[in-house]
Structures are given as structure tokens and as C-alpha cells.
Chain A
Amino acid sequence: MTKVRIFVTYKPSVFDPQGDTIKKTIHALGHDEVADVQVGKFFDLTIDAQVDQVAKTVKEVAEKLLVNFNMETYTYQVMEEN
């Protein structure tokens, strides 16, 4: 089993209204040093495969379902393998 975490965010060129609202609230807390906030989501997948075989599954699942490539992009990392 391999545990994989897939992160989905808006592409950098796409305005993120949630991130913008949160940034303004952070500034209201007095933390003007926070220059930008991007909100995303993550998906933890437990995949019945060895770590060297998960890339294909992740790519297909992300690109067909989890990500809307019109405006989003993704990265992933292997969390755990056993």
C-alpha cells in the first residue's frame, strides 16, 4: 500500500477569491507581512500498489476527475509506503 497526497490549487494566473478574502482578514489581524494566500484542497489516496507504480494512477485520477485544467493544477507527494 502507498499513501499519496494530491494537492489541487488554482493556476497562478487565476484569481482566488477565497485566498484574497483570507489575506485581507490576516491583514486585519495585523500580519501585513503575509503577502499572498492561496487556498487549495488535498486528497489522500491509499493505493494498492508499490510506490514506483502509483504515478500512472495518480495522473489519471487527478487529470480525469480531481482537477479542472481550465483553472486548476496539482502536485502530489508520497506520504507513506509499506
Chain B
Amino acid sequence: MKIAVIVFPGSNCDIDIYEALSSVCGADVDYVSHKQASLAGYDAVMLPGGFSYGDYLRAGAIARFAPVMKAVVKMAHAGQPVFGTCNGFQILTEAGLLPGGLKRNDSQQFICKTVPLEVVNNQTLFTSQYQEHERIALPIAHADGSYYADQATLDELEANHQVVFRYAEENPNGSLRNIAGITNRQGNVLGMMPHPERAVEAILGNTDGRRLFESLLANGSVKVEE
């Protein structure tokens, strides 16, 4: 399985996600510039965290027009795994690959801490190595992480089991229904505000994120249902 990590101007978690996949999980990974028009030869694509284009206009609003995004959309529609964390999640919503959007945190503050999460759905490409309703903890680091969608969309997300991670115990940013991560209807696109790539080695104090990448590597070649 060959994985592309997209590098936008202002990405700052690209190295973390690259190393989580390559050094820690042994995957075949490349950095791919936002200027590339093609992702031919890749089986999965990662949109990293950071502040692409300085978060100008809205977080992710400019990045979605980068040349590489047409290829990302094509992969998503083809059912190949697409993962976005933090700014990557914001880009996926702006690109219309995931419903809803991310607003400024209710507290108006940039929040950087480890938070408890519930794995709501472990029947996805990205979460199969977790237990259902398992409690894990992952770092968050964002100012614009308050998930918003209208009531009908939220109901649809829940009915289709698209809510994959929820904030447990406390809601750090005002996200509706405590949503921390969602998939698209088909389940091959996952966006989440927490950073699993920052929690993959014991020496860093937390390995709860590692199984997300291991799930992807174990399931990556599985074709999703249309």
C-alpha cells in the first residue's frame, strides 16, 4: 500500500504523519506537493494538520482549490482511503468531501491538550483495531475545531454511523453532539480534529493513535461498498 502525505504551504504536521506511517508502522509513504495534479500510483492519501495558506478566509478554504485536490476528490470518489486530521479535516469539509464545517472554538481560544475520546464506530477502515465504545486519549491543537452541521445533517450522520469519534467527559470546543471525527457516507473518507499521529510512540507518552494507522494499513486494500 502506497500512501501520499500532501504538503500544503503552512502544513506543520506533515512530518508527524509521515513518520507515524513510515518509521512507526513501516508503510511506504511519500510527501506529495500541493502543486501535483495527479496521485496516480497511490492507494491512500493523508491531509495533515497545520495552517494551510495561513488559515486565510477560513481554515481550509484556500487549500481546497490547490491543484492536488482534484486528485484527492477523485480518489475519495473511487472509494480509496482519504484521511484528514485537524487542518486536513477542515480542508475535507471545505472541499465537500465531508458534511458540515469547523467553526471557531466556543472559548475563542487555541486549545492544546490531550482529551479523552470515545471510539463510536469501530467498523471503519480507520478504526477496526479499536474496540467499540473504547475510551482513548488523543492530543488536540486547534482554534477552529467546533464542528457544526444543521440538525438534519447531524441526524443523518448518526443514523448512518458516520460519527466515528466523540469527545468524552468534556466538550473542549463546542462541537455539536460532541463530534470529534466523522466519515463520509461510504466510510472511506475520515476527518477528525484530534491528532492520532502525535500519539504513536511510548516515548512520547501516548500510543492511542497508532491503531488508527495500523487499521488503515490492515484494511487499505479492502474495497468499500458503493
List residues of A whose CB falls within 8 A of some B CB: 10, 13-15, 17-18, 21, 65-66, 68, 70-71
Kindly supply a per-residue 1/0 record for chain B positions 98-117, scoring 1 wherever the CB is within 8 Å of any chain A CB and 0 otherwise: 01110111111000000000
With contact pairs A68-B61, A70-B93, A70-B149 given, residues A18 and B104 touching in the complex (Cβ less than 8 Å)? yes
Q: Which of B57, B101, B104, B108 contacts A65 (CB 8 A)?
A: B57
- CB-CB under 8 A from B10, the residues of chain A are none
**Interface residues of chain B: helix, strand, loop or mixed (majority):** loop
Q: Does any Cβ of A come within 8 Å of B94's Cβ? A: yes
In angstroms, how far is the closest chain A Cβ from the Cβ of B151? 9
- Which 3 pairs from chain A and chain B are nearest by CB? A70-B101, A17-B106, A71-B148
**Beyond A68-B61, A70-B93, is A15–B101 a contact (Cβ under 8 Å)?**
no
What chain B residues lie within 8 Å of A71 (beta carbons)?
101, 103, 148
Kindly state the separation between the CA atoms of A23 and B99 in the bound complex, as whole angstroms: 30
User: A70 to B101, alpha carbons, bound, how many Å?
Assistant: 6
Chain B residues whose CB sits within 8 angstroms of the CB of A18 once the complex forms: 104, 108
